[in-house]
Amino acid sequence: MKRSRFKIALVACAAVASVAVLPAAAQAKKTITISGSTSVAPLMTKWARAYARTTSVGFRILQGGSDVGVADVSKGAVTIGMSSRDPKAGDPGGLVWNKTNKDALCVITHKTNTVANMTQAQVQAVFGGSVRNWNSVSGSNKSGTIDVNVRTPASGTQDAFKKLFLGSTSVFSGASQKASNGLIQQTVKSNENAVGYVSLAFQEGVHTVAYNGTACTLRNAKAGTYEGTRNFWVVTKGAPTGAAAKFIRWIKTSRTASKIADSEWVSL
């Protein structure tokens, strides 16, 4: 692939299952490199596509998880890091975190396993491993060992899920770890006994379980009634400058960017 042939490239690292390339009519004069969260990446790609239509700036977007994005931008390997978790005390110094919007995390099951609702206690029991069969889960029409799927430790989604849903409960040691939202989605979609959690934008083909009596929907996330919402961030090494500063300002102030965010996420 010759970089000069593309305006925007969404590139997968070894931990990510998919690659997409977005063609362009002309070579970009300036390329902004971005890496990190697989939850933020779909939104970032839409933003980059819209922004590139009106400027000569191009984008190279890599995934891998929030911790990867934070580490990459700290080392100067990319211009912007994407994070779907909040800053941690152990993060490298000198980083500037810009909150861009909010997102909802949804518990999902196979489309034939129509569990209507899980309380926090039930989520903790299932993902903590104290309940191991679907016949012990209220509302499940399955009888079989629960296949628990979680994200890898580098994932901001994993970090957010632990804080929002699990509290002090540890993740089941026998859970399968997946490197992206898409892999969780595909696993649950193909396995009748599977359970997992994904960003709101990854619900297609699976059953979404209400949490504490409230459905995981965009409307409820925007209304603030759904409890499982978390922040999205773009991270820079020091205050952003040049093309990156203009792009981040566009994300935070443009009506176009806000409209894109409101399509499947929650704008600020």
Q: How far apart are the first and last CA of the chain?
A: 37
Whether this model's pTM surpasses 0.85: yes
Q: Which domains does the chain have, with CATH numbers?
A: 3-101+232-267 (3.40.190.10), 103-229 (3.40.190.10)
| Burial of 13 (C-beta count, 10 Å sphere; 0-12/13-18/19+) | middle
66: its two tokens: 């929030």
pLDDT of residue 66: 96
- Reply yes or no on whether the pLDDT at 117 is more than 70: yes
Q: Which residues contact 242 (CB under 8 A, 6 or more apart)?
A: 30
pLDDT digits (tens, 9 = 90+) for 121-170: 999 999 999 999 999 999 999 999 999 999 999 999 999 999 999 999 99
Query: Average of pLDDT values for 200-204?
Result: 95
Provide the mean pLDDT of the chain. Answer: 90
Q: Which residues contact 6 (CB under 8 A, 6 or more apart)?
A: 21, 22, 23, 24, 58
**Residue 88's CB: how many other CB atoms inside 10 A?**
11
- Reply yes or no on whether the pLDDT at 1 is more than 60: no
φ and ψ of 49, to 5 deg: -60, -45
Identify the CA nearest to 203 among candidates 218, 221, 213: 218
Query: Average of pLDDT values for 202-212?
Result: 97
CA dihedral 197, 216, 193, 123 (to 10 degrees): 70
pLDDT of residue 160: 96
Band of the pLDDT at 88, cuts 50, 70, 90?
very high
CA separation for the pair 43, 194 (Å, rounded): 26
pLDDT of residue 9: 53
Q: Identify which has the larger pLDDT, 11 or 3.
A: 11
Query: Average of pLDDT values for 177-203?
Result: 97
Determine what percent of the chain is predicted with pLDDT higher than 70. Answer: 89
- Reply yes or no on whether the pLDDT at 174 is more than 70: yes
CA separation for the pair 84, 87 (Å, rounded): 10
Q: Are 57 and 244 in contact (CB under 8 A)?
A: no
- Reply yes or no on whether the pLDDT at 4 is more than 80: no
Q: Are 198 and 185 in contact (CB under 8 A)?
A: yes
- Reply yes or no on whether the pLDDT at 14 is more than 70: no
pLDDT of residue 196: 98
Band of the pLDDT at 268, cuts 50, 70, 90?
confident
pLDDT digits (tens, 9 = 90+) for 18-48: 333 344 444 557 899 999 999 999 999 999 9
